[in-house]
Structure 1
Amino acid sequence: MRHIFSIFADYLSQYFKTRLAYRTDFLGDFVSNLVSELINLVFIVVVFTHVPLMGDWTRDEIIFIYGFFLVPYALFSMFFGFWDFNERYIIRGEMDRILTRPIHNLAQVCLESIAPDRIFGVITGIIIMGYAAIQLDLSFYWYDVFIFIGLSISGALIYGGVYTAIAAVSFFSDSRTGIAPMIYNIQQYGRYPVDVYNKAIRFVLTYVLPFAFVGVYPAAYFLRKEVWYTYAAMTPVVAVIFFGIGILVWNWGVTKYRGAGS
């Protein structure tokens, strides 16, 4: 693991050296991404202005949950770029190249798709949470910063585990898209309070595809919703379980990979 983390650091270093070779282009991307994320913030505020209440949740609480949801998703997007995995590694056969190298194949795929510019999603999420916290007059303790970091990383690992397992399905199929688009649509439900859904959807978002542990459950801790505290505390446990499942499914899939052929 130490070796893999050192390689991650080297990749990040090379990434920024490459981008900074054209500094004006890098600055332009920085500004455009930031403006895009701020526009998203304005859009969200305008939309929820017309939705004052959802179940027992107020508009500002929903906005806070949405902001929290963006943070682990951005962290996940930085390191798990599986969006073109089927096309690039299975159909075009680049997985053959990956398997000839000594470092773990999953780490290589993550390294080759690393996207540090996704950090803007973290900034946007924090801004949205800050806006909602001011509106709600929330108070925080000094240790909440560490809890926030831990829950955000746990959420990113939940995403990582789910999408790693989904990407591994490609080892058994040559479909260009797979089931990732469908799962992406399902994950959007995690942005909102689960108690506004029926029991079937709540069960799926909690135990099958635990996207509720990326949004509403951990955010409920900071909103001081004590009824959800147990779920918030379970977030790191769920992260370890599902990330472990994702790695196991991936390793199993690799053993079934037979190459791109001729």
Structure 2
Amino acid sequence: MTVLKRYSHLYIQFLKNHLKMMIEYKLDFLIGMTSLFISQGTAILFIGFVFNHIQQLNGWSFYEILFIFGIASCGRAIHQVFFDNLWMIGANYIRPGNFDRLMVRPVNPLFHLVADKVNQDGFGQLLIGMIILTTAAMHIDLSFGVLEILLLLLMVVSSGLIFVAINLIFATLSFWMVDSMPIIFAVHSVSDFARYPITIYHTSIRFLLTWIVPYGFTAFYPSAYFIDHSGFQNTAIFTPLVAIVISVIAYLFWNRGLRSFESTGS
């Protein structure tokens, strides 16, 4: 409990500094928010354009797909706000020798790496995701009580943890490759497939998104729990378990990479 209290206090101090920077550079924050709105809006317009020509996509309506899209956006936002620095471990820390600084300080190096950056653009992503989720839920007549809202929050948090864990696994490769950014980017791009019903894809892609790189549990499966005709409710309930298991695997792999790290001075 003392350790948890200490790290909570430390993170709050890091967060305060980041918030001060956000207030000081308001224009950067607004530009980031605007670019996210444009990016997400373009994706939604594309989906809308497709549905101007069809009524359903393999049995899924426009607003049902928006619901999936909204959960994906909220999950990505958790990763983007609090864990965005994982992308930069190779380029900003290992390659220039800055990771040594994290190793000699009396805090967990992963905690320090994560706390070193808060990406304010992610707040825009979260806002967009919440708007999309609310709009979609209203149009597909989902009835939400307190229990359903709590379950939805659990699914969104689980989605975020899965995004983080997958990125951490591939970011850890930087301990051997110096910079694994291209691999992280390539794998993260696969998550775009999960923003749509995976039933529209070939069986091999469904298997990949479910059991190899489980991005399916970041959007489709959590959404399927709330949509009656999906037929995937039994799989969807495993979303929190998948998040826990892959997070443990990612952290163990991180520790393995940490033991292999050689300082630039070595």
Which residue in the other structure is 1:43 paired with?
42
Give the Å deviation of 1:176.
Answer: 5.9
Q: How far does residue 35 in structure 1 lie from its aligned partner after superposition? A: 3.7
Q: Runs of 5+ in structure 1 lacking a partner?
A: none
Q: Give yes or no for contact 1:63–1:128 (8 Å, CA) kept in 2.
A: yes
Letter aligned with residue 46 of structure 2: V
1:170-207: per-residue Cα shift (whole Å, max 9, x none)? Answer: 11112463411110111111111111111111111111
- Equivalent residue for 2:74? 71
Secondary structure in structure 1 of the residue aligned to 2:7: helix
Partner of 1:204: helix, strand, or coil? helix
Question: Which residue is 1:54 aligned to?
Answer: 57
- Does the aligned pair in 1 maintain the 2:194–2:209 contact within 8 Å? yes
User: Which secondary structure does the structure 2 equivalent of 1:57 belong to?
Assistant: coil
Structure-1 separation of matches of 2:119 and 2:44: 27
Aligned to 2:248: 244
TM-score normalised per structure 2? 0.90
Deviation for aligned residue 1:18: 3.3
Contact 1:217–1:228 (CA under 8 A) maintained in structure 2? yes
C-alpha separation in 1, matches of 2:223 and 2:28: 30
Unaligned runs of 5+ in 2: none
Question: What is aligned with 1:151?
Answer: 155
Partner of 1:184: 188
Paired amino acid for 2:186: M
Q: Deviations over 1:209-259 (max 9, x none)?
A: 110100010011222346211222101100010000110000000100111
Tell me the C-alpha RMSD between the 2 structures.
1.9
Counterpart in 2 of 1:85? 89
AA of the residue aligned to 2:104: T
Contact 2:194 2:219 (C-alpha < 8 Å) held by counterparts: yes
Change beyond 3 A, Cα 1:226–1:62? closer
**8 Å Cα contact 2:103/2:109 also seen in 1:** yes
Partner of 1:129: 133
Distance in 1 separating the partners of 2:39 and 2:136: 15
SS at match of 1:54: coil
The 8 Å contact of residues 70 and 121 in structure 1, kept in 2 or not, is answered as yes
**Using a 3 Å threshold, how does the CA distance of structure 1 residues 195 and 109 change in structure 2: closer, same or farther?**
same
| Number of residue equivalences | 258
The answer to whether the aligner puts 1:204 opposite 2:208 as a matched pair is yes
1:152-177 superposed Cα distances (whole Å, 9 cap, x missing partner): 11111111111111111111112463
- Asked if 1:260 is matched to 2:264, the reply is yes
Q: Are residues 137 and 33 of structure 1, via their aligned partners in 2, closer, same or farther at CA, if it must alter by over 3 Å? A: farther
Query: Does residue 7 of structure 1 match 2:10?
Result: yes
Comparing 203-212 and 173-182, the one that deviates more: 173-182
Deviation at 1:19, TM superposition (A): 3.1
